[in-house]
Chains A and B, each alone.
Chain A
Amino acid sequence: GENVEQHPSTLSVQEGDSAVIKCTYSDSASNYFPWYKQELGKGPQLIIDIRSNVGEKKDQRIAVTLNKTAKHFSLHITETQPEDSAVYFCAASITDKLIFGTGTRLQVFP
C-alpha cells in the first residue's frame, strides 16, 4: 500500500521568513496530494491540494510543487505569520482514501 514520509518533524522560523515541508510517497499510481493544517484540539483542515497533472499550484502565500518522477511534493509558505503556527500534514491518494504523513510542527516566532 501507499506510504507517505514527511520531514522535518519540527520547523521553527522567524516571522516573515519562508518555510518548506517535504514529502515523499511510494505508490506511483497516487494522483492527488493535499496538505492539511491542524491546530490544537481541532481536526485537520485542507489548505491546498494538487493533482498529478499539475506541477505547481499557488494560493496567496502558500504554494505546492509536485515531482512525479521523483515521487515527492513540497509545501512552501512565504512571509510566515504567527498564525501559521500549527501541525501540517501531507497526504497522498490513489483511489478513495488519503494516506497521511507523520506531520510537521511549524512554529513561527514574532
Chain B
Amino acid sequence: GAGVSQTPSNKVTEKGKYVELRCDPISGHTALYWYRQSLGQGPEFLIYFQGTGAADDSGLPNDRFFAVRPEGSVSTLKIQRTERGDSAVYLCASSATSGTGELFFGEGSRLTVL
C-alpha cells in the first residue's frame, strides 16, 4: 500500500508476556518514529531511526522496550515482560526527511495487557 502499515491492529496479551509490533513505512522514507498514545493523550515519543540506526531512543520508558530496523525499512517494537501500564496505542510514523518534515502515521497497534 501507499501508506504506513502497522500490524497487528489489535493485540491482547497477558501480563508478563512478550510482544512484537511491526511497522512497514512508506517506501523510500529514511526516518521512522515510534510513538505511544494513551487514551485522551497526545502521542508520546519513544524512538527515532535514521536508516538502520536508532538516532534517538530517549523516549523508551525502560529496558523492557526495544526497537530494531535492521534493513532500514521495516521496524519492530519489542516489549518484554509486559505490564498493564503498557496498554496503549503504539503509533509508527515515517518521513522523507528527519525533524522538520511531515510525519506520515500508521493507524496504530492497540495493545491491551490483561
B107 touches which of A42, A89, A98, A100 (Cβ 8 Å): A42
B2 to chain A, nearest CB (A): 14
| Cross-chain contact B103 with A32 (CB below 8 angstroms) | no
Q: Which residues of A contact B108 (CB under 8 A)?
A: 43
Binary contact track B82-114/A, C-beta < 8 Å → 1, others 0? 000000000101000011101101111000000
Per the 8 Å Cβ criterion, residues 18-40 of B in contact with A are 31, 33, 35, 40
A96 cross-chain contacts in B, Cβ below 8 A: 31, 48, 50, 55-56, 98-99
Interface residues of A: mostly helix, strand, loop or mixed?
Answer: strand
Residue of A4, A6, A46 with most partner-chain B CB within 10 A: A46
Contact A89 B102, beta carbon cutoff 8 Å: no
A51 to B93, CA, bound (A): 20
* B62 CB within 8 Å of chain A: no
Tell whether, in the assembled complex, residue A100 and residue B4 are in contact, meaning their CB atoms are under 8 Å apart: no
Q: Are A43 and B56 in contact, CB atoms less than 8 angstroms apart?
A: no
Q: Are B102 and A46 in contact (CB under 8 A)?
A: yes
Within 8 A of A (CB), among B39-67: 40-45, 48, 50, 55-56, 59
* A57-94 residues at the B interface, CB under 8 angstroms: 89, 91, 93
A103 & B42 in contact (Cβ 8 Å cutoff): yes
